[in-house]
Structure 1
């Protein structure tokens, strides 16, 4: 199939998605993971997306579409020998998803979701996470019992605040895994056991493959007992393997265990989220001893106009101080949310310290604006600066450079005129510090707008 024909094919499929969604007459509760929605109670009403096949069987159809335009000036902080890095680049991403959710009785579920993705305008061609013909995004069988549930097949995964496991919303193709997830819950207690391998995208139709070089498994528990309300607790262990890890001070087969806890909740106008992770394991012939501590705390002035929320994020993700001591100290965030620091997704949480004061306002309930200023340093100047996508990539391996990475000012907004529609925009200006300028890095400007629709 020639490139022009493939592009027309993908554009036609995205048009079909948009047309199908235009048939919607009512909106219900939409979830970040579409398979968690249950429209069965609306099947007896005027809902064009749900059909009651039998008394015990329902079929729900749904779709998502997103157009996202963004640009970087320059690319990769201008580091590198390519002309594109110094010139910058802008491009547009197109995403179309359609799914079917079959429920049999109260507990059995079959969920299938297909996706088609296109990219226009990027110099040098599309990234691997941005373009693909029609392929299976998710497909699994599930048993959703009152206490026990099991989901087996291809699926998206979110754990906690997406600090370690996320769906990778910024790029065009969301991250999915092949494997199984078993859950037990009773009241405020929940325990999940999971065993997955990530899905690697390929550009042609129905050619995505399960990774044989990476694996993720572990346990994740959430506790919210009334005796310690409003405090909630997550405890988890995650095992991670990949055939080839690469850091400034080590490379080779990586086998890493992450032991973490998260304390979160809210009381009156205060909200907080504190997370700590300790990692052990080995990479090549070196042992791993790494860690991170992250926090996000805020206070909402509900009595004031626009309900301003001043907040502060403070994070440390360990780096490696002595490259030749046989021990790697660089934290690996596994499969994180790439937009953790800002929508520009310029840096990854490895060998980094940052402070980010911010203020969030809501001029109207459907409009949210965030203004933040993020200051970033290397944890150890002997280690590299790391960038997305996961797994970590070292963009600066000069030993002994400065510690200050830089600061970025961000303005992000989200507007929901209707539960099915979302308009988002972001502007980021990054001032490079000595850790980047000594390697030829330059200041970066980033702009993004997106329009998303759900049916």
Structure 2
């Protein structure tokens, strides 16, 4: 039955004479606008009958959508030999279903339900693997007639830029959401945002609640240019208790940053520069980070290869015994900082390495990479993407953590059905050798995603 449903939804397109471009299924599903389907000539698929359901009044309609995702994962020596190993691997399932209610030009209600399940992992599900059934998003939008400003109230996914600081965590089985307020104002090429939220605390077998031990607030702007743009942002975060480099205390951080990006005909770049200050316990915070992904695409060559270099720097603590803190805090990042294997996070880490993307055809691409990793400070350890220290820094003076060659393969069969898979192997360096266990980590994954 699970196979028949996608096949029915992917039936042959009906003849249509629509002159408007069809919407694209977005990672943030609330960004989709299916109002063009009010024109019957724009309906191309049987499923369009639920993408636009008129509600009896002008500009009143309902849109329904969802996602089914199956992901197989297999880690060899997870945690460099610390975590439980599952030789046969395990399965992660994610089900999303949303309803998007539009009541004219001023009011909108969006609700999304999420179910995440884990099967077969030794040691049971991780905190980001399982949430049996819950309201993932539920918010009210209030806008003006011209859509120049919008107030959003309720539970919502938030992602800024490339997700280095705040993201929806697509790579995890359970996507991240926040409870609170977001205000957006648009004028010409400028967009301004401000937020006041609590992250949602996932509870696998009962209703998720706001995590009142953490409060986020922020503001920023984006100016769109041709094939690129520029943004500036500020985020404040109050964590009642945090842990960095053996230090514990209330973390009140203020993060300032700017992003510059462009997708040119040949050359492209994407760079974030971030500065962090505030207080940690009785001390002060002084930290920072830089991230860039710069490349060139040779469109005239077969397979249109893109050759790029990725560089990331996140500061580490300079004195274990000082009350002050220099470890960069990644706030709520997407987990794939150190590639899809998500072994390392953006605290006290420097990495650099080549990336190549080869477009085999319009629907298939292969992407090899090989990043190298060092500790930014020898007085601090290494962390995972959640900001938890996984190796202390006081047992070794070595900087080199290791390197991780890998490759991913992506295939989009249609706008609804896609697959991706890959293999990575982390070769451990001197720092891990001197802070055992130091086993190399192999990671294989394969994902099938169906969206409607």
Shorter-chain TM-score above 0.5: yes
Counterpart for residue 137 of structure 1: 136
Aligned-pair CA distance for 1:268: 2.5
Gaps of 5+ in 1: 1-14
Residue 71 of structure 1 aligns to a residue whose secondary structure is strand
After superposition, give the CA deviation of every residue in 1:190-246 in whole Å (9 maximum; x if it has no partner): 1101111111111225x1111011111100211236xxx666211000001111110
Counterpart for residue 31 of structure 2: 36
Matched, 1:235 2:232: yes
After superposition, give the CA deviation of every residue in 1:46-101 in whole Å (9 maximum; x if it has no partner): 4221211122310111111100000111010113xx7x25x767211001111110
Counterpart for residue 12 of structure 1: none
Q: Assess if the C-alpha contact under 8 Å between 1:18 and 1:65 holds in 2.
A: no
Decide which moves more: 120-129 or 402-411. 120-129
Q: Assess if the C-alpha contact under 8 Å between 2:395 and 2:435 holds in 1.
A: no
Counterpart for residue 3 of structure 1: none
Counterpart for residue 433 of structure 1: 429
Distance in structure 2 (CA, Å) of the matches to 1:298 and 1:352: 22
Aligned-pair CA distance for 1:383: 0.3
**Cα–Cα, structure 1 residues 397 and 364, in superposed 2: closer, same or farther, change >3 Å?**
same
Distance in structure 1 (CA, Å) of the matches to 2:137 and 2:302: 43
**Cα–Cα, structure 1 residues 18 and 115, in superposed 2: closer, same or farther, change >3 Å?**
farther
Distance in structure 2 (CA, Å) of the matches to 1:269 and 1:121: 45
Distance in structure 1 (CA, Å) of the matches to 2:10 and 2:410: 22
Distance in structure 2 (CA, Å) of the matches to 1:331 and 1:280: 9
Distance in structure 1 (CA, Å) of the matches to 2:255 and 2:266: 32
Counterpart for residue 442 of structure 1: 439
Distance in structure 1 (CA, Å) of the matches to 2:300 and 2:228: 24
Counterpart for residue 60 of structure 1: 63
Counterpart for residue 5 of structure 1: none
Distance in structure 1 (CA, Å) of the matches to 2:154 and 2:413: 35
Residue 340 of structure 2 aligns to a residue whose secondary structure is coil
Counterpart for residue 223 of structure 1: 223
Distance in structure 2 (CA, Å) of the matches to 1:405 and 1:88: 25
**Cα–Cα, structure 1 residues 202 and 89, in superposed 2: closer, same or farther, change >3 Å?**
farther
**Cα–Cα, structure 1 residues 197 and 96, in superposed 2: closer, same or farther, change >3 Å?**
same
Counterpart for residue 157 of structure 2: 156
Q: Assess if the C-alpha contact under 8 Å between 1:382 and 1:400 holds in 2.
A: no
Gaps of 5+ in 2: 14-21
Counterpart for residue 17 of structure 2: none
Matched, 1:193 2:191: no
Q: Assess if the C-alpha contact under 8 Å between 1:215 and 1:240 holds in 2.
A: yes
Residue 404 of structure 2 aligns to a residue whose secondary structure is strand
Residue 371 of structure 2 aligns to a residue whose secondary structure is strand
Distance in structure 2 (CA, Å) of the matches to 1:57 and 1:98: 20
Distance in structure 2 (CA, Å) of the matches to 1:18 and 1:104: 34
Counterpart for residue 211 of structure 1: 211
Counterpart for residue 202 of structure 1: 203
Q: Assess if the C-alpha contact under 8 Å between 1:75 and 1:89 holds in 2.
A: no
Matched, 1:295 2:297: no
TM-score of the superposed pair, with normalisation by structure 1: 0.91
Q: Assess if the C-alpha contact under 8 Å between 1:74 and 1:89 holds in 2.
A: no
After superposition, give the CA deviation of every residue in 1:13-63 in whole Å (9 maximum; x if it has no partner): xx7898489446568411111111111211343422121112231011111
Distance in structure 2 (CA, Å) of the matches to 1:400 and 1:97: 45
**Cα–Cα, structure 1 residues 286 and 18, in superposed 2: closer, same or farther, change >3 Å?**
farther
Residue 289 of structure 2 aligns to a residue whose secondary structure is strand
Q: Assess if the C-alpha contact under 8 Å between 1:21 and 1:454 holds in 2.
A: no
Counterpart for residue 119 of structure 1: 118
**Cα–Cα, structure 1 residues 61 and 48, in superposed 2: closer, same or farther, change >3 Å?**
same
Residue 340 of structure 1 aligns to a residue whose secondary structure is helix
Count of paired positions: 431
1:362-381 maps to which residues of 2 (within 5 A)? 362-381=359-378
TM-score of the superposed pair, with normalisation by structure 2: 0.91
1:407 to 397, 403, 406: 403
